[in-house]
């Protein structure tokens, strides 16, 4: 099937396609394959509809105009959340109140399951997520993000200065995962001069992306003596990250939604030539094993020991960065990701 001849609708995260979930996933693929598409409208006929995770499931799970094929890009592990979790029980109501759902779907798990049943193919990002989806859709594909636009600078110098610089990049709402590391940073600061660098949004909306404006600098207070905040910028991102000595990715391992995240952020740092210490999520463990590295943490004792090791050893920092970059470049290349998208569409036409 020649996709260029199809009438394609895509439901994005943002109408200007500037959100990472657009730029690093279907929009990137469409641009590379010279595909034309419009923002999907459920009242219109399409040959193919691609729904991002922001799609209104109360509408799209019933979409059946013109025999369209539907692909659902479900990149987070919502189906792994225990059914008795309070926040999970309220998610459907919150989406309706925030205007993200036209119709009230109280049971968000059921809404996702129904969307997977309707879809001709579902895209996810981890093995665990694929297993959760298969009872509702057999045609499941694992696809990670493309980070080509962020690789403006690659680290090559692994000598640290008197102040050891540690960096994190991501969505500001996830900074809460650093709270549990405050005792670790306090211990580390008894031995070394360190600085934490955050590349993220300067403010964010805490509830449903609609309410509760929070200033990121307020969430960073008390982490350590030196904390620096940079507004996320595509062109400066790699400049800031590659100038630091080490990246870290703390994850709340007790939270199944964040514990189920893929290795995208780890690969982003590796592609920039930066050594990385992470929490021991399944995806990060697999990627580290592939690189022959042991840089994941299950508790604060692990974090202290690994930080101590990599702060003191330029050789270990350089070795791990080179090993990680090799794995990212060879096993998670842009062309590999594009071929995976090709396979999705080949499977439904």
pLDDT tens digits along 2-37: 999 999 999 999 999 988 899 999 999 999 999 999
Cβ-Cβ contacts under 8 Å for 90 (sequence gap 6 or more): none
- 270/151: higher pLDDT: 270
**Is residue 148 scored above 90 in pLDDT?**
no
pLDDT in tens, 54-73: 999 999 999 998 789 999 99
Tell me phi and psi for residue 7, to 5 degrees.
-90, 110
**Is residue 168 scored above 70 in pLDDT?**
yes
pLDDT in tens, 203-216: 988 765 666 788 99
In the β-sheet with 276-279, what is the strand arrangement from edge to edge? 227-231, 193-200, 163-169, 246-249, 276-279, 296-297
pTM of the predicted model over 0.95: no
Please give the structure tokens belonging to residue 71.
Answer: 């692909």
pLDDT in tens, 303-335: 999 999 999 999 999 999 999 999 999 999 999
**If you average pLDDT over every residue of the chain, what do you get?**
93
Instruction: Name residue, tokens 């939604």.
Output: 257
Percentage of the chain exceeding pLDDT 70: 99
The DSSP result for 220-289, as a single string, is HTTS-S-EEEEE--TTTHHHHHHTSSEEEE---TT-HHHHT--SHHHHHHHHTT--EEEE--HHHHHHHH
Q: How confident is the model at residue 229 (pLDDT cuts 50, 70, 90)?
A: very high
Q: How confident is the model at residue 346 (pLDDT cuts 50, 70, 90)?
A: very high
Whether the CA torsion 52, 22, 229, 258 is positive or negative: it is positive
pLDDT in tens, 214-227: 899 999 999 999 99
Cβ-Cβ contacts under 8 Å for 5 (sequence gap 6 or more): none
pLDDT in tens, 87-116: 777 787 878 777 788 888 878 899 999 999
Please give the structure tokens belonging to residue 94.
Answer: 């919150």
Whether the Cβ atoms of residue 305 and residue 337 lie closer than 8 Å to each other: no
Among 252, 279, 275, 274, residue whose Cα is nearest residue 263: 279
Whole-angstrom Cα distance, residue 279 to residue 296?
Answer: 5
Whole-angstrom Cα distance, residue 296 to residue 303?
Answer: 8
Whole-angstrom Cα distance, residue 12 to residue 83?
Answer: 28
The pLDDT, as a whole number, for residue 65 is 85
Q: Residue 12 to residues 41, 146, 197, 319, 341: CA-CA distances in angstroms?
A: 11, 16, 30, 39, 16
- Over residues 140-159, the mean pLDDT reads 91
Whether the Cβ atoms of residue 344 and residue 71 lie closer than 8 Å to each other: yes
Strands 211-215 and 203-207: antiparallel
Q: How confident is the model at residue 235 (pLDDT cuts 50, 70, 90)?
A: confident
């Amino acid at each position: 099937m020649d996709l260029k001849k199809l009438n394609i609708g895509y439901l994005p995260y943002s109408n200007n396609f500037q959100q990472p979930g657009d730029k690093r996933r279907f929009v990137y693929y469409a641009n590379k394959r010279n595909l034309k598409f419009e923002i999907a409208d459920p009242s219109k006929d399409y040959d193919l509809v691609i729904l991002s995770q922001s799609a209104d499931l109360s509408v799209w799970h019933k979409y059946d105009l013109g025999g369209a094929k539907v692909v659902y890009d479900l990149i987070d592990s919502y189906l792994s959340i225990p059914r008795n979790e309070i926040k999970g029980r309220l998610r459907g109501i919150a989406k309706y109140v925030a205007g993200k759902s036209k119709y009230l779907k109280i049971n968000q798990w059921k809404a996702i399951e129904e969307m997977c049943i309707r879809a001709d193919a579902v895209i996810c990002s981890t093995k665990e997520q694929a297993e959760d989806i298969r009872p509702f859709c057999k045609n499941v594909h694992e696809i990670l993000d493309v980070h080509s636009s962020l690789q403006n600078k690659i680290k090559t110098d692994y000598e640290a200065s008197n102040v050891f610089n540690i960096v994190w990049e991501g969505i500001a709402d996830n900074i809460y995962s650093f709270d549990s590391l405050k005792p670790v940073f306090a211990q580390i600061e008894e031995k070394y001069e360190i600085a934490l660098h955050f590349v993220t949004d300067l403010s964010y909306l805490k509830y449903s992306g609609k309410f509760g404006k929070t200033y990121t600098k307020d969430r960073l207070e008390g982490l350590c003596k030196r904390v620096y905040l940079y507004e996320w910028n595509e062109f400066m991102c790699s400049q800031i990250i590659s100038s630091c000595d080490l990246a870290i990715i703390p994850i709340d391992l007790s939270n199944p939604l964040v514990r189920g995240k893929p290795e995208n952020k780890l690969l982003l740092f590796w592609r920039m030539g930066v050594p990385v210490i992470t929490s021991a999520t399944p995806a990060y463990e697999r990627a580290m094993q592939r690189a022959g590295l042991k840089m994941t943490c299950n508790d604060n004792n692990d974090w202290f020991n690994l930080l101590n090791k990599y702060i003191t050893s330029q050789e270990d920092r350089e070795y791990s960065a080179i090993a990680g970059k090799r794995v990212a470049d060879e096993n998670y290349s842009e062309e590999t990701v594009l071929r995976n998208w090709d396979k999705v569409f080949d499977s439904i036409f």
